[in-house]
């Protein structure tokens, strides 16, 4: 298999003028440089032109992109006489940024590289963390076999070292795999076991992960009250800012499904102001835009829409933005704008192989066109003079309502 093949496959789907092309190419260049330096450290001094070229590629990534900093730090460390343990931590940070961005295939490749370097350096903890992260990224990409391999290696290493916290973390990863496959009872069983063991050992980080997984199970079972309380418990045990962002996003979704839009808005506003990642802040803004459409607040809806349309959203976020903007516009009675945006979301998502959004957009187009027809039919009916007998029925119903409101409650039906 070609080294870093996921990068070549991903680049083949992109236009050379897109920001994603630039960042992906820079990542591949850094990984290739790392490979070359591991095989022959002397190339760092001899191939100064190659180093300059890779540096220029990294510097071409826009400011604010979370992958720019760790890639630049890898280059700085290589130039200074490489400490592979330091380089590996920066590569791990790069993989985490890709994972968060939804570039799961690339993240798997990076975590695999990190695990390989960690084995060579006998850095057991990084090897466990990297193979666990690999299992999660592969699961999110739908590669069940690769996910299972990552988790199996992480579990083996954790068991060999007697690292209980890491071993339980791997089990939560497996619970999340059961969730992804729809086996919620199996996931809940794992979560319950991990919660009991983590509580005995006062492993707060594991308790946070386990409660979050339990909240996800509750959400999918439409037990939204439980999803909120478990999510809040997870927050109390979690210090990792990225995990806290994920928990908050899930809590916002549960509040939204409960019809508690004020609480959902609070969650998304907090996330939009406190997250370290621009991508997460944009995602929260998209959710706030959707809530504004449900509230009938067209000014807020348009304010969010204007900012997001001009933002440097990655393809996945932009496809969701276009879809939710279109649905919101229809909700606000602007059918033409809404259908146009949903069609744009469908075409954009299809072009970027984001098939779930493309499918959702097709469905939304059908529903949106149905809403247009229903609205037009309602306008036709409302323009017709009301028949006298129908007007009488309406009047009688109004009288009945008034009498019901003014009468004392009936508490004895004997």
Q: Is 193 exposed, middle or buried (0-12, 13-18, 19+ CB in 10 A)?
A: middle
The answer to whether 179 and 141 are in contact (CB under 8 A) is no
Tell me if 187 sits within 8 A of 195, measured CB to CB: no
Residue 391 lies in a domain: no
Instruction: Give the pLDDT confidence of 290-317 residue by residue, as tens digits.
Output: 999 999 999 999 999 999 998 878 777 8
For 182, left (φ over 0), alpha (ψ -120 to 50), or beta?
A: left
Distance CA 266, CA 287 (A): 11
Whether 378 shows a pLDDT value over 70: the answer reads no
* Distance (Å, whole) CA 395 – CA 405: 16
Give the pLDDT score at 381.
46
4 belongs to a structural domain: yes
Distances (CA, A) of 136 to 21, 91, 145, 357: 24, 17, 12, 22
- 370 lies in some domain: no
Task: Pull the structure tokens for residue 393.
Answer: 């029925």
Q: How many domains does the chain have?
A: 1
Pairwise CA distance, residues 97 & 107, whole Å: 8
- More confident: 158 or 407: 158
What does the pLDDT read at residue 271? 84
What does 210-274 look like in DSSP terms, one character per residue?
A: HHHHHHHHHHHTT-HHHHHHHHHHHHHT---HHHHHHHHHHHHHHHHHTT-HHHHHHHHHHHHHH
Say what the pLDDT of residue 40 is.
83
Query: Is 184 among the domain residues?
Result: no
Instruction: Say if 356 falls within a structural domain.
Output: no
- The verdict on residue 24 lying in a domain is yes
The token duo for 264 is 């959902």
In a domain, 73, yes or no: yes
Helix (H, G, I), strand (E, B) or coil at 81: coil
pLDDT of amino acid 412: 40
pLDDT tens figures, 133-168: 999 999 888 888 899 999 999 999 999 999 999 999
Q: What is the mean pLDDT of residues 200-223?
A: 94
pLDDT, greater one: 309 or 370: 309
Range of the domain at 34: 1-135
Residue 16 within any structural domain of the chain: yes
**In this predicted model, what pLDDT tens digit does every residue of 89-125 receive, in sequence order?**
999 999 999 988 778 899 999 999 999 999 999 999 9
Task: Assess whether pLDDT exceeds 70 at residue 213.
Answer: yes
CA distance 156 to 114: 17
What does each C-alpha distance from 180 to 72, 100, 261, 316, 364 come to in angstroms?
A: 35, 17, 27, 19, 24
According to the model, what pLDDT value does residue 323 have? 95
For the chain, the distance separating the N- and C-terminal CA atoms, rounded to the nearest angstrom, is 82
Structure tokens given for 14: 């992109």
Task: Show the beta-strand stretches assigned E in 109-171.
Answer: none
In the predicted model, is pLDDT for residue 184 greater than 70?
yes
């Amino acid at each position: 298999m070609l080294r870093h093949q996921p990068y070549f496959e991903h680049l083949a789907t992109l236009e050379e003028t897109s920001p994603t092309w630039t960042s992906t190419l820079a990542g591949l260049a850094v990984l290739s440089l790392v490979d070359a330096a591991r095989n022959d450290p002397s190339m760092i001094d001899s191939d100064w032109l190659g180093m300059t070229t890779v540096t220029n590629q990294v510097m071409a990534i826009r400011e604010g992109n979370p992958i720019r900093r760790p890639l630049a730090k890898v280059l700085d460390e290589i130039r200074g006489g490489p400490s592979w343990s330091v380089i590996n931590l920066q590569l791990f940070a790069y993989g985490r940024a890709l994972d968060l961005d939804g570039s799961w295939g690339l993240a798997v490749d990076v975590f695999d590289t990190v695990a390989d370097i960690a084995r060579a350096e006998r850095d057991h903890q990084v090897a466990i963390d990297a193979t666990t992260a690999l299992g999660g990224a592969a699961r999110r990409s739908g590669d069940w076999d690769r996910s299972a391999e990552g988790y199996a290696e992480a579990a083996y290493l954790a068991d060999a070292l007697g690292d209980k916290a890491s071993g339980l973390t791997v089990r939560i990863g497996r619970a999340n795999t059961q969730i992804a496959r729809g086996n919620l009872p199996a996931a809940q069983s794992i979560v319950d076991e991990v919660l009991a063991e983590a509580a005995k050992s006062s492993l707060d980080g594991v308790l946070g992960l386990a409660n979050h997984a339990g909240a996800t199970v509750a959400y999918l079972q439409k037990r939204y009250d439980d999803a909120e309380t478990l999510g809040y418990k997870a927050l109390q045990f979690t210090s990792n800012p990225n995990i806290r962002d994920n928990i908050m996003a899930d809590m916002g979704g549960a509040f939204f499904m409960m019809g508690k839009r004020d609480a959902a808005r609070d969650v998304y506003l907090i996330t939009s102001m406190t997250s370290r990642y621009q991508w997460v802040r944009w995602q929260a803004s998209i959710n706030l835009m959707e809530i504004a459409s449900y509230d009938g607040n067209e000014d807020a809806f348009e304010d969010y829409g204007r900012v997001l349309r001009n933002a440097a959203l990655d393809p996945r976020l932009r496809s969701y933005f276009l879809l939710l903007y279109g649905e919101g516009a229809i909700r606000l009675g602007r059918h033409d704008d809404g259908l146009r945006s949903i069609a744009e979301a469908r075409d954009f998502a299809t072009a970027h192989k984001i098939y779930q959004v493309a499918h959702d957009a097709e469905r939304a187009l059908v529903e949106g066109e149905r809403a247009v027809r229903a609205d037009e039919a309602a306008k036709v009916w409302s323009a017709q003079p009301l028949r006298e007998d129908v007007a009488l029925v309406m009047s009688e119903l109004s009288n009945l309502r008034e009498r019901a409101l003014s009468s004392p409650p009936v508490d004895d039906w004997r």
